[in-house]
Each structure stands twice: as structure tokens, then as C-alpha cells.
Amino acid sequence: MTHRFDPTSLREYDIRGIVGETLGPDDARAIGRGFATLLRRAGGTRVAVGRDGRLSSPALEAALIEGLTASGCSVVRTGMGPTPMLYYAEATLEVDGGIQITGSHNPGHYNGFKMVFQHASFFGEKIQLLGKMAAEGDWDEGDGTETVTEADVEDLYVSRLFAGFAGGAYRVGWDTGNGAAGPVIEKLVKLLPGEHHTLFTDVDGNFPNHHPDPTEEKNLADLKKLVAEKQLDFGLAFDGDGDRLGAIDGQGRVIWGDQLLSILAEPVLRVEPGATIIADVKASQMLFDRVAELGGKPLMWKTGHSLVKTKMKETHAPLAGEMSGHIFFAQDYYGFDDAQYAAIRLIQAVHVIGKSLTELKDAMPKLVNTPEMRFQVDESRKFAVVDEVLDRLEAEGADVNRTDGARVNTADGWWLLRASNTQDVLVARAEAKDQAGLDRLLAQIDDQLAKSGLVRGETVGH
């Protein structure tokens, strides 16, 4: 028996596709068979399986479990919840791996799989290997002793989120956007001091109120309204599977992922002076400067949650984050991206620093920057274009960081051009001290693209 995946579904950090078009139960079964085979060959036998609140998730879960047991692994079902709850189960239960069925922050008709293999990220070549094994039918057969059990981890997870909390009492708005984090947040706010107002915590895979992606400002409109009407201290927002955090201050201004990290880093570095703090190449120079000012070692790294987690282990970094709102705590936690835990640590950080979130936002350097600009480019060209740009910049003697694409420093500020690992797009971003500087940086990007036969053109969504 063999299986062929749609080539667009096997991504760099996870498996993702449109249900009924590029992803379905047969794919889930094949993922289960391949993952179980690899785990058995590495000496493992048990897998935790969780799912988000999408309408297609129960059917994909059933097929995934069929595949896992057919190739010899027992399964512990952790039920519906945010992705970090599955990560928590994988870290604390007697299992050798974990798989979450989730479409993350994508629209409702998408779904996918995020995987952990023996407490490490499962990504890149390993995901491609699942495709190769399926095409060849290279799957082990089970021996009939496999079991499927249930583990109710939600209350344990909520208790762990709250454990050691030493924050103050604030008035906070919480918007889970009908995503999988809703029930966890409802339980969590009952434990926290202060006054808490929640929005859209009922899980609904149709996402009737707004798209569950807090990195797009338009999705924060309801939260801004709540914070303004009730004059709350700040607001917190979560993506569809609860691994990305968004925040606004008391005036409704967005605190972006890199700005959150600059706040979270302060208490972390008080406990671990001189520690490494990691951020991705899309983060503001303000963050790297702030970490250095606080006595930490700023490290710029590649974008992608699996890549960041791997780098954290290598450098023993207590904290890392991405522009996209993935925040990873290894200090007093497990090192995975967990928006619920990051929210708790943010409340704590505001308390420890002793200023309101609005005051912290006010104190940040006033820089002018673009959002993440994404534009379509043929899959076969996207990495080649970045290489061409790098070659030209090198010949010109430009100040370039090659960590992940091209990040170019100039007297005006910096600009970035990188190829997305998950889509046929190039991603650009620029930041300057003023609008005139930003315009000059954007002109440099346009010039480089033109030399490779491209136009920046229309930006495309996620």
C-alpha cells in the first residue's frame, strides 16, 4: 500500500492544506503510519494526539489514529485544545511523541498537523521523509497490542500555566477569536487576580466573528472596542490554535511581537543576567538594542517556530520570540511556543517592571516601519531571487546579515528580503527613523527586485 501527498501540503515546519482539495483523511492515515514507523524504529511506542476546533479536525484525528495504531503505536488522546496543550501533554505524559491536528491561524477550510518527536521539533527533511515513505509504502505493521486511551489534561495544563504566578491585579480583555484556546482562557482568568473580560471563547470552526490571527491589526477591532469601552489596562488576543499572542495597550495601540519580547526580556534577564535572547530576522533593531542594554546577548535567528526551538536548546536561551507572536519560554517552562503562558508572563512582567503597558509602549523608540509585505513569486524562483540579491549586495560592499535571506543595514535603518519556507512568496520588511528614510529603504528593495525581474506589487495574505 502506498500514498502520495499533494506536494504543497508538506511544509517546512508542519503539514498543512485545504481540506477536501490538498488534505484529507487518507493523508492523515499516511502521516500516522509514517510517524509511527519512524518512532518505533527510534524505540518509541506511544503518541499523544490533540486537535483544534475546526470542523474537519475530528475526522482527521480518527484517520491519524488509525494510521498510528496500524503501524504499531499506542495513542493517548488529549482532546480539543490549543496546540501548546498538546505540547504540554507530550512533555509531561509517558509518551514518545505528539501530533496536534490544527490549521493554526489559517482560514476555517484549512487544516494540518504539528508534530513533536521524542521531545524535539519534527520539521524540514523529516516531514519530507514522511512523503517518501508513503510513496514507497515503507511502513511497519503493528502487532495488535496497540491501545487508544484518553487523558484529560486541560485542568492540569491550566494549573501549570498559573503555577508560580506572581503578577499584580489588572483589568484585562481577552479575545480567543472562537479558536481552540477559549475553554483554557475561561478557566485561567478565574484563577487570576484582577478583572477579566473575555470575547469569543466558544470554539467555532467557522470563526464567525473575525479571523483568528492577532498579527493582522484588523482582527483586533473587537478587542480594541472592549478595552476602550471598559477602560481596561490592556487586551490580549490569540490565534486559532493558541500558540501566537497579540496584545494592545490601554489606548488600543498594538504591541507587536518584537515589542512584547522587549518587555518580557527584562524580568528574564534580572533572573539570568547575560543570557541569550533569540528573535527572528524580521524583528526590530530596537529589540536587539534593548536586550543588549539590559545586559543580555541578542541573537538574530531564522524565522520558523521549529528552527527557533532548536536554536534555543543549542544556546540554552531562556526566552525567544518571533515577529509573528510565537513566544518561547525555557525559563521556568518547557521551551515551546505557548501564547497562554506568554500572556501570564506578560502580566507578571508589567507588574515586575512597575509601569503600565501603556507607559512601556510610550517609552519605546519611535520608529517608522512597514508591516510584513508578502508578494507572490514562482516557487522555482523564490530562493534564487534572494541569492541574486545577496550576490549583488556583496559586490556593492553593503552591510548584510545572511542569517535568513538578506537583512541590510544602512544609515537610514534596515530592510529585509527573504523567501517564505511555507508559501510561494517573498517576504520584505523595512524600518527607519523617519518616513523619508523608510522611502529610501523601500526604493532599495524595489531596485533589487527590478534587477531580478520582479515588482514588489500587491501584497498577499498568509
Query: What DSSP string describes 204-266?
Result: -TT--SS-S-TTSGGGGHHHHHHHHHHT-SEEEEE-TTS--EEEEETTS-EE-HHHHHHHHHH
**Domain co-membership, 245 together with 127:** no
3-state secondary structure of 374: strand
In whole angstroms, give the CA distance from residue 339 to residue 336: 10
CATH number of the structural domain spanning residue 372 = 3.30.310.50
328 and 374 belong to one structural domain: no
Q: How sure is the predictor about 421, in pLDDT bands with cuts at 50, 70 and 90?
A: confident
Q: What is the pLDDT of residue 436?
A: 98
| Percent with pLDDT over 70 in the chain | 99
Report the pLDDT value the prediction gives residue 422, as an integer from 0 to 100.
Answer: 72
Query: Can you give the pTM of this predicted structure?
Result: 0.95
Degrees to nearest 5, angle at CA 167 with 166 and 172: 150
pLDDT digit string, tens, across residues 425-451: 899 999 999 999 999 999 999 999 999
> Please, are residues 32 and 66 in contact by the beta-carbon 8 Å criterion?
yes
Same domain, 307 and 430: no
CA distances from 344 to 11, 202, 295 (A): 31, 21, 24
The verdict on 148 and 160 lying in the same domain is no
* Among the listed residues 177, 182, 184, the one whose alpha carbon sits nearest the alpha carbon of residue 221: 177
Domain boundary (122, 152, 182) is at 152
What does the pLDDT look like over 43-80, one tens digit per residue? 999 999 999 999 999 999 999 999 999 999 999 999 99
Is the pLDDT confidence value at 210 over 60?
yes
Q: Which residue has the cell 531564522?
A: 302
In a domain, 3, yes or no: no
Q: Is residue 458 part of a domain?
A: no
Is residue 216 included in any domain, yes or no? yes
pLDDT of residue 11 exceeding 90: no
Lowest mean pLDDT: which of 8-17, 126-135, 347-356, 437-446? 8-17
Provide the pLDDT confidence category of residue 462 given band limits of 50, 70 and 90: very low
pLDDT at residue 460, as a whole number: 47
Mean pLDDT of the region 396-422:
94
Look at residue 4 and tell me if it is in a domain.
no
pLDDT (mean) for 393-409: 95
Give 70 or 14, the one with higher predicted confidence.
70
Q: Are residues 232 and 336 in the same domain?
A: yes
Together in a domain, 98 and 183: no
pLDDT at 99 (0 to 100)? 98
Confidence at residue 455, expressed as pLDDT on a 0 to 100 scale: 85
Which residues are part of the catalytic machinery? 104
* 391 and 305 inside one domain: no
Determine the Cα–Cα distance for residues 262 and 251; give it in Å rounded to an integer. 19
Span 275-303, pLDDT tens digits: 999 999 999 999 999 999 999 999 999 99
- Which residues lie across from 170 on neighbouring strands? 194
Count of domains in the chain?
3
- Distance (Å, rounded) from C-alpha 90 to C-alpha 107? 26
Same domain? For 181 and 213 the reply is: yes
Read off the CATH number of the domain in which 148 is found. 3.40.120.10
Q: Whole-angstrom Cα distance, residue 386 to residue 425?
A: 11
Contacts of 172 (CB under 8 A, 6+ apart): 189, 192, 194, 195, 196, 197, 232, 233, 234, 235, 236, 347
Is 253 found in the same domain as 237?
Answer: yes
Q: Is residue 461 scored above 50 in pLDDT?
A: no
pLDDT in the model for residue 306:
86
Alpha carbon separation from 456 to 19, 373, 374, 401, 453 (Å, rounded): 31, 9, 9, 21, 10
Q: What whole-number distance in Å separates Cα of residue 206 and Cα of residue 107?
A: 9
Residue 279's nearest CA partner among 339, 321, 336, 342 is 321
**Of 152, 171, 198, which residue constitutes the final position of a domain?**
152
In this structure, are residues 177 and 240 in contact, taking their beta carbons and an 8 Å threshold?
yes
- Res 12: pLDDT: 83
Burial 183-196 (b: 16+ CB within 10 A, else e): bbbbbbbeebeeeb
What was the pLDDT predicted at 271? 97
In a domain, 462, yes or no: no
Domain boundary pick from 362, 386, 402 = 362
Instruction: Give a yes or no: residue 1 inside a domain.
Output: no
Among positive and negative, which fits the CA dihedral 141, 144, 146, 147?
Answer: positive
Query: What integer pLDDT is reported at residue 375 of this predicted model?
Result: 87
Residues 181 and 88 in one domain: no
Average pLDDT value for residue range 108-130: 95
Do 93 and 40 belong to one domain? yes
Q: Does 347 lie in the same domain as 214?
A: yes
The answer to whether residue 7 sits within a structural domain is no
pLDDT average, residue stretch 130-141: 97
Q: Which three cell numbers stand for residue 25?
A: 483523511
- Percent composition of the chain: helix, strand, coil (DSSP 3-state, to 5): 40, 25, 40
Per-residue pLDDT band at 329 (split at 50, 70, 90):
very high
Identify which of 285, 322, 303 has the alpha carbon closest to the alpha carbon of residue 419. Answer: 303
Residue 457, pLDDT score: 64
pLDDT at position 458 over 70: no
Q: Would you say residue 317 has pLDDT above 90?
A: yes
Residue 177 lies in a domain: yes
Domain of 378, in residue numbers: 368-451
Q: Is the pLDDT of residue 459 over 80?
A: no
Mean of the per-residue pLDDT values of the chain: 95
Torsion region of 18: left, alpha or beta (phi above 0 gives left; psi -120 to 50 gives alpha): beta
What would the pLDDT profile of 234-245 be if each residue is shown by its tens digit? 999 999 999 999
Of residues 384, 387, 378, the one with CA closest to residue 406? 387
